[in-house]
Amino acid sequence: MAKRMPKEVAEYLRKLGKTYGKLGGKTAAQNMTAEERSARATKASEAAAKKRTAARLAKERAAKRAESRIKHSRTRKRK
């Protein structure tokens, strides 16, 4: 079992992340060519679209299962 991090350390790391975490993408973008930035943006866009599609399909499957259960419960013979 992993040991818990002291609250002071966690707070310090959270503060560092909040301060410097945003700089990573900006610095990386400055060091890239236009082609590299475009490729990175395309990859991110495709990943976002894939995530949206997966969420939509999961929602549709859940709705279809619920509809099937309702339909099945209506057609069942009752004793």
**For the chain, what are the domain ranges?**
8-75
Q: Would you state the pLDDT for residue 42?
A: 97
Task: Give the sign of the dihedral formed by CA 42, CA 43, CA 48, CA 51.
Answer: positive
Whole-structure pTM value: 0.51
What is the token pair recorded at 58? Answer: 């999961």
Which residues of the chain have a pLDDT value below 70? 1, 74-79
Q: Would you state the pLDDT for residue 63?
A: 92
H/E element holding 38? helix 34-75
